[in-house]
């Protein structure tokens, strides 16, 4: 007598995560050769880029909701 094998995939039961994008204020490095940026909520008091030390400018980007 052969048994029927049934596989239940974990993927079927997982909820699909939605990436909700929201307009977020960020500080971006003013140096064109640097890609440094950070959310306004996490910026340092001196407003210098943590990667290169140049100044940072306020801008808005669409980022995933935190």
Tell me what pLDDT residue 4 has: 72
* Residue 46 within any structural domain of the chain: yes
* Residue 19 within any structural domain of the chain: no
Q: How many structural domains is the chain composed of?
A: 1
Tokens at 7, concatenated: 């596989």
* Residue 39 within any structural domain of the chain: yes
* Residue 63 within any structural domain of the chain: yes
Q: Of 18, 19, 27, which Cα lies nearest the Cα of 64?
A: 19
- The better pLDDT of the pair 54, 19 is held by 54
State the residue range of the domain holding 50: 35-66
Tens-place pLDDT, residues 7-51: 666 665 555 667 899 999 999 999 999 999 999 999 888 999 999
Tell me what pLDDT residue 15 has: 57
* Residue 18 within any structural domain of the chain: no
Tokens at 20, concatenated: 């909700």
DSSP 12: G
Beta partners for 39?
26
* Residue 16 within any structural domain of the chain: no
């Amino acid at each position: 007598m052969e048994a029927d094998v049934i596989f239940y995939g974990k993927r079927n039961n997982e909820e699909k995560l939605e990436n909700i994008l929201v307009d977020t204020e960020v500080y971006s490095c003013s140096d064109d050769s640097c890609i440094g940026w950070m959310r306004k909520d996490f910026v340092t008091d001196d407003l210098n880029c943590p990667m290169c030390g140049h100044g940072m400018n306020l801008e808005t980007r669409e980022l995933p909701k935190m």
